[in-house]
Copies of this chain bind each other. A is one copy, B any other.
Amino acid sequence: MAQTTVVALLHGPDQPGLVARVSGWIFERGGNILHADQHRDMEAGVFFQRVEWVSASGADMDAVNAETSAFAEFAAGLGMKARLATSARRPRVAVLVSKFDHCFHDLALRWQAGEFAGELVGVLSNHPDLAEAAAHYGLPYELVPVSAATKADAEARQLAVLRGWGADLAVMARYMQVLSADFLGTWAKPVINIHHSFLPAFAGGKPYHQAHARGVKLIGATAHYATAVLDDGPIIYQDVARVTHRHGVDDMIRMGRDLEKLVLAKAVRLHLDNRVLAYGNKTVVFD
């Protein structure tokens, strides 16, 4: 019989017995816990948990849905917010691009290789450049040009496209436009961005130029959830690479492509595996 696994991401005020109660609830319903991981933010008094279990309901999706609803209610009774996902539904991912193609190819090839627990469903761009590449991967391509004058209209069209694709996640793969606070609020689903610096250093434009001018010995990349404040959202993953005085801005751009690809792919993977819980301006990553 086919298995269905459920993942719950919980957080709320800490109190004794949460681990026992959650695992007890699952055990009583015949669930078998595959992984359970917790974290306490001692200062804030917040408890976080990721728990993944095999549901006793097998492939009976009505039963599985009833179980996740019941779990959410149970968690609410403990004062906790719960986000639930099941293996029966693969999240749908839209990719936003401009002209740079390295992150896009990287995401598409990983998707084809089966590295992601989700489906790429479309490519949204403000430029026509990557249309052919998208077609090669069998992905629909929507061109929505953006200018200062047309920004509001463009964002309305972008929203319609994302909703039309039934997207659960938008990934900015070196998409060179800022998404407005209005857009993010209306969309109300996660957006992952890759910034080509080790944030909070070198936020804003031309971070490799900034890094070169400052003479740093490491360059970085940061994947974070986009928020209304530019380059300021909760950080999911970061990495760095060593540079020397010999590396000009062009070398940094080239080396940075590898960093950007790896860091963005790792963040998308973690998100799709339901391992990331954002709270305030930070993340808990159950890796």
Contacts and interface: CB of A to CB of B under 8 A. Distances in A.
A105 B16 CA distance: 42
A218 B238 contact: yes
A254 B266 CA distance: 12
A245 B20 contact: no
A113 B104 CA distance: 13
A190 interface: no
Given A23-B20, A38-B36, A105-B109, A235 B216 contact: yes
Interface string A21-61: 10110110000111111111111000010000000000000
Contacts of A217: 235-238, 285
Contact of A102 (B23, B39, B113, B202): B113
Given A102-B113, A245-B282, 19 more contacts: A17-B32, A19-B27, A19-B36, A20-B24, A21-B27, A23-B23, A102-B109, A105-B105, A115-B254, A198-B198, A198-B240, A199-B214, A200-B201, A201-B201, A215-B235, A215-B283, A218-B238, A218-B239, A245-B285
Contacts of A39: 245-246
Interface of A: 16-17, 19-21, 23-24, 26-27, 32-43, 48, 102, 105, 109, 113, 115, 136, 198-202, 214-218, 220, 234-240, 244-246, 248, 254, 257-258, 262, 281-285, 287
How many copies of this chain sit in the oligomeric assembly?
Answer: 4
Contacts of A23: 19-20, 23-24
A108 to B, nearest CB: 10
Chain A interface mostly: mixed
Contact of A244 (B26, B234, B287): B287
B245 A218 contact: no
A218 B240 CA distance: 9
15 contacts: A19-B36, A20-B27, A23-B23, A36-B36, A36-B38, A42-B248, A198-B240, A200-B202, A214-B235, A216-B238, A217-B238, A217-B285, A218-B220, A218-B238, A245-B282
Contact of A16 (B19, B32, B102, B214): B32
A37 to B, nearest CB: 6
B215 A200 contact: no
A9 to B, nearest CB: 13
